[in-house]
Each structure stands twice: as structure tokens, then as C-alpha cells.
Amino acid sequence: MATDSRASVDQWVEKLTAQGVIAHGPQIQGPEGGGLTEGSGSYTIFFHDPNGVFFEIFAEPLTVRQYRQQAAARGGEAEAD
């Protein structure tokens, strides 16, 4: 299930945890999270519902521009357009 932001994913973690559901994550897919250099940057959590069905909630991947801006803000690679 897609959400509109990373903050929304974090809110889902809080909601699920408050109901006793174990949420795995959040995880970042890609270089920001220590993964593949060309990874998408999606921000995701995983959990099981009471019937054992496995779900994922995620924020859309970062655009290249967003990633570069965040990297530049962290002192990483230079911001480029």
C-alpha cells in the first residue's frame, strides 16, 4: 500500500505498534539504506495482519533530484540538476 510520505509510513508504525502489531522496518531500499548503489530509495515497513496475511506500506521512491538534494544536505555527493 502506497502512502504520500515517509512521515506517513512512520505514523503507520506508531498506529500498528499501538495495536500490538509488530512492524518490521522502516527500511530504505537503495544507497541511503546501505543497499544497491542504484536502488530506488523507497521507504517501507512490513507486517502481518491477525490472519497471517503479509502487508507492505511504503512511500514512493525518491526522485534523482530529491536523492541528490538529501545527499548534498548530508555532505555527500554534490547537488546536480
For 66, the domain range is 2-73
Q: Is residue 58 part of a domain?
A: yes
Q: Is residue 7 part of a domain?
A: yes
Q: Is residue 79 part of a domain?
A: no
Residue 81 falls within a domain, yes or no? Answer: no
The CATH number covering residue 31 comes to 3.10.180.10
- Considering the domain boundaries, does residue 78 fall inside one? no
Give the pLDDT confidence of 19-66 residue by residue, as tens digits.
999 999 999 876 665 555 555 678 899 999 989 999 999 998 767 787
Contact by Cβ (8 Å): 31, 39: yes
Nearest CA-CA partner of 41 in 69, 68, 23, 60: 60
Q: How many domains does the chain have?
A: 1
> Nearest 5 degrees, angle CA 32-CA 15-CA 51?
100
Residue 51 lies in a domain: yes
pTM equals 0.67
